[in-house]
Amino acid sequence: MAVEIWLGETVKVKVTVKNTGTQSRNFGVKCKAISESTTVTIGRKETGLLSKGSSKTVNFYYTPDSTSETGYIDFKAYVYENSDCSGRLLDSAKRSDAVFVKYMDAKIVDASHFTLRHLCNYDTYARALIRNTGNVRATFYVFFAGMDPNSYTWNHHTFAKTITLDPGEEAWTDYFTLWECQDCWQTHCYNVLGKWKIKIIVSASNSYEYDVLDEYESTECTVIE
Task: Give the model confidence (pLDDT) of 135-191 as tens digits.
Answer: 999 999 999 887 777 777 777 777 789 999 999 999 999 876 655 555 655 555 555
Distance CA 162, CA 206 (A): 9
- The three-point CA angle 111-113-115 to 5° equals 170
Cβ–Cβ < 8 Å for 133, 152: no
Give the CB-side neighbour count of residue 51, counting CA atoms within 13 A: 0
**Domains of the chain listed by start with CATH number:** 3-102 (2.60.40.10), 106-224 (2.60.40.10)
Which of these, 167, 112, 119, lies nearest to 140 by C-alpha position? 167
CB neighbour burial string for 184-196, b if at least 16 within 10 angstroms, e if fewer:
eeebebeebbeeb
Query: Is pLDDT larger for residue 178 or for residue 195?
Result: 195
Average pLDDT over residues 65-86: 96
Distance CA 158, CA 21 (A): 70
3-class state of residue 188 by DSSP: coil
The average confidence (pLDDT) of the chain is: 87
Cβ–Cβ < 8 Å for 131, 109: yes
Residue 192 pLDDT level (bands cut at 50, 70, 90): low
DSSP code of residue 170: E
Cβ–Cβ < 8 Å for 215, 198: no
pLDDT in tens, 40-57: 999 999 999 999 999 999
pLDDT at 224 over 50: no
Distance CA 140, CA 129 (A): 12
